[in-house]
Amino acid sequence: LRAQDTPHWRPALHFSPARHWANDPNGPFLLNGVYHLFFQYNPHGMVWGHTSWGHATSTDLVHWTEEPVAIPARPDEDIFSGTVVLDRDNRSGLGSKAAPPLLAFYTSVYSNTPAHPEGTQAQSISYSVDGGHTWRAHEGNPVLTLQPESRQFRDPSVFWYPDGQCWVMATVVGDAQVVKLYRSTDLLHWSFLSDFQPSGYRKPGMLWEMPLLLPLPLDGNPHDVKWVMIVSVNPWSIAGGSGVEYFVGRFDGTIFTPDALPAPGSDPSRYLWLDHGADQYAMARFANTGDGNPLLIGWMNNWDYASDIPTSPWRGQMTLPVEVALKTIEGRPALVQAPPRAYDDMVRKSGVHAYPDRMLKAGDHLLQPFGGDVLDIHLAIRRGDARRAGIVVRGSADGTIGTSIGYDFIDQTLTLDRAHSGNVGFSPRFSLAHIAHLAAPGGTLSLHLVIDRDSVEVFANDGVLRMTDLVFPPAGSDRVSLFVEGGSATFGAMRVAVLGK
Ligand code: FRU
């Protein structure tokens, strides 16, 4: 342990590398009961660079084992984000029928090579025939280049499209704010399908990154399948800096058409955001998880201040994997997110305490009889005549430190306030409060909080609204309290698990 090390911020429920810098999750997949996660990794330092694919495995999506670097950067090629697919029928010919290959699609970023203009980006493949442990570069790389070669063409996201009996790849030209779609039947040769570039949407300096296109039944109806286009945008996100938004629409095998878009120039809150906190980016989908809800994972960070995060000897971690579904919310289709079953099982096994309902009045400030720096908390706040009510987590004994999650019943807004959460001064761009509209049907707001040593994840109203925020409290800030302003409210259905002891 060195003086600058911060073990009190080491996440217990989220993957973080033992040392050094990590950003985007890459090519997560499930094979033979093991979840594999790759990630943008700098094996040599605490800031972005030498971009390689780090690797980790898990059987429960919560406890991760870091593996050796899977795809290292080379002197003339950095390895940017991408996807892994299982080529079950060996259509690529890179494995065999008996041993179907895994194909990792990623972006090659070229430097110091006569073969490509400096800094250009193209899509490449490495493949594995040993279940994802070792990877070899395909000899025909790159498999997809733009003409003229581009410095912003990246983040291949590949999936099987049964209706067309082909694979589809979504990529971006980041600074053009466009998603480009391609198809292939052998995973090696790709032909252009279409561009998705909603008009009136451009923002100065905004990048589009990490596209993800997936089909989802609306309200569980298999006869009403919609397509969701997820895009990470940086900056101009709803909580400032980088964030993840999505579009709901149709995909006919060639073109993605959004159902309805807010008028050009609309307020950003009219768009659909996957997370209303500041620290969710570059969401990727686990491949090969079978039927059922898609499983996604993100990078818990924000490009606004990622390089200044005060953790050591690592910098960068993932968000909790979530299952997503599409439901009609306030009259329009929207993504709903929940932690995966494996997470719930782990919580249940740790022992859950149920608490009796409590009515609190303004000025009451109830310190809960449990404490911990890693907690899973469910509660439902029922309005009496309170204006606001909520919960403070990662609080200090003297009450000066804490992260507050509060609901305003009049304005119908949920706010996560980390202004007093601990170390907030490491970057002037570390935003202090995040606020989002949310209805409270029947005057009740439900919250599910996943509290880790350096983060607070909020799932409100059964995952209708998600807020993910990093926090850096002093060691020992393990108090939880409830508060009410301007009237009374009842805190019900409170269930707590103390985790990661
Ligand atoms: C997103 C991103 C990707 C790129 C990677 C590089 O955070 O900028 O577009 O592939 O990070 O590390």
pLDDT-above-70 percentage for the chain:
100
Beta bridge partners of 376: 450, 497
Probe target for ligand 1 pocket from 26, 111, 209, with the most ligand atoms within 8 Å of CB: 209
Catalytic residue flag (residue 24): yes
**What gap in Å lies between CA 287 and CA 428, rounded to an integer?**
38
Q: Please give the mean pLDDT across all residues of the chain.
A: 96
- Report the predicted TM-score, pTM, of the whole model to 2 decimal places: 0.98
Contact between 141 and 121 (Cβ < 8 Å) = no
Specify the pLDDT at position 10. 97
**What gap in Å lies between CA 482 and CA 405, rounded to an integer?**
10
Angle 113-116-121 (CA atoms, 0-180°, nearest 5)?
110
**What gap in Å lies between CA 271 and CA 264, rounded to an integer?**
11
Whether pLDDT at 121 is above 70: yes
Whether pLDDT at 158 is above 80: yes
Of 63, 70, 59, which Cα lies nearest the Cα of 14?
63
Specify the pLDDT at position 201. 78
Distance (angstroms) between ligand 1 centre and the Cα of 173 equals: 12
Q: What is the per-residue burial (b if ≥16 Cβ within 10 Å, else e) of 132-155?
A: beebebbeebbbbbbeeebbbbbb
Spell out the residues 6+ positions from residue 222 whose beta carbon is closer than 8 angstroms to its own: none
Quickly tell me which residue has 């983060």 as its tokens.
455
The residue annotated as part of the active site, out of 77, 155, 209, 452, is: 209
Contact between 487 and 385 (Cβ < 8 Å) = yes
The residue annotated as part of the active site, out of 24, 245, 469, 478, is: 24
Specify the pLDDT at position 501. 62
Quickly tell me which residue has 């980790």 as its tokens.
56
Whether pLDDT at 14 is above 80: yes
- Token output for 124: 């490449």
Specify the pLDDT at position 262. 87
Measured CA distances, 359 to 62, 414, 452, 482, 491 (Å): 34, 20, 27, 11, 6
Distance (angstroms) between ligand 1 centre and the Cα of 73 equals: 14
DSSP annotation of 164: G
Distance (angstroms) between ligand 1 centre and the Cα of 209 equals: 7
Contact between 446 and 9 (Cβ < 8 Å) = no
Amino acid identity at 1: L
Contact between 370 and 496 (Cβ < 8 Å) = yes
Residue 80, Cβ neighbours under 10 Å: how many? 24
Q: How many residues does the chain have?
A: 501
Quickly tell me which residue has 């307020």 as its tokens.
267
**What gap in Å lies between CA 407 and CA 256, rounded to an integer?**
36
Atom 6 (ligand 1) nearest CA: 80
ipTM: 0.98
Our answer on whether the CB atom of 157 is closer than 6 Å to any ligand 1 atom is: no
Whether pLDDT at 199 is above 90: no
Distance (angstroms) between ligand 1 centre and the Cα of 120 equals: 14
Our answer on whether the CB atom of 177 is closer than 6 Å to any ligand 1 atom is: no
Distance (angstroms) between ligand 1 centre and the Cα of 214 equals: 20
The minimum-distance atom of ligand 1 relative to the CA of 303 is 7
Mean pLDDT of 324-340: 97
**What gap in Å lies between CA 33 and CA 430, rounded to an integer?**
38
Of 268, 230, 229, 233, which Cα lies nearest the Cα of 249?
229
- For residues 299, 301, 303, 308, the Cα torsion angle rounded to the nearest 10 degrees is -130
Specify the pLDDT at position 204. 86
The minimum-distance atom of ligand 1 relative to the CA of 82 is 10
Residue 447, exposed/middle/buried by CB under 10 A (0-12, 13-18, 19+)?
A: buried
**What gap in Å lies between CA 71 and CA 448, rounded to an integer?**
37
Mean pLDDT of 480-487: 94
The minimum-distance atom of ligand 1 relative to the CA of 40 is 12
Probe target for ligand 1 pocket from 23, 39, 110, 299, with the most ligand atoms within 8 Å of CB: 23
Mean pLDDT of 397-424: 97
Specify the pLDDT at position 73. 98
Distance (angstroms) between ligand 1 centre and the Cα of 60 equals: 26
* Predicted confidence (pLDDT) per residue in 30-74, tens digit: 999 999 999 999 999 999 999 999 999 999 999 999 999 999 999
Our answer on whether the CB atom of 208 is closer than 6 Å to any ligand 1 atom is: no
Backbone φ and ψ for 327, nearest 5 degrees, come out as -135, 155
The minimum-distance atom of ligand 1 relative to the CA of 48 is 12
Our answer on whether the CB atom of 282 is closer than 6 Å to any ligand 1 atom is: yes
Beta bridge partners of 207: 234
Specify the pLDDT at position 109. 98
Secondary structure of residue 306 in the 3-state scheme: helix
Whether pLDDT at 382 is above 70: yes
DSSP annotation of 453: T
Atom 9 (ligand 1) nearest CA: 209
Whether pLDDT at 281 is above 90: yes
The minimum-distance atom of ligand 1 relative to the CA of 80 is 10
Our answer on whether the CB atom of 337 is closer than 6 Å to any ligand 1 atom is: no
Our answer on whether the CB atom of 51 is closer than 6 Å to any ligand 1 atom is: yes
Residue 49, exposed/middle/buried by CB under 10 A (0-12, 13-18, 19+)?
A: middle
Atom 8 (ligand 1) nearest CA: 209
Residue 163, exposed/middle/buried by CB under 10 A (0-12, 13-18, 19+)?
A: exposed
The more confident residue out of 368 and 383 is 383
Our answer on whether the CB atom of 87 is closer than 6 Å to any ligand 1 atom is: no
Our answer on whether the CB atom of 78 is closer than 6 Å to any ligand 1 atom is: no
Angle 57-450-213 (CA atoms, 0-180°, nearest 5)?
60
Distance (angstroms) between ligand 1 centre and the Cα of 24 equals: 6
**What gap in Å lies between CA 176 and CA 154, rounded to an integer?**
12
Distance (angstroms) between ligand 1 centre and the Cα of 80 equals: 6
Whether pLDDT at 341 is above 70: yes
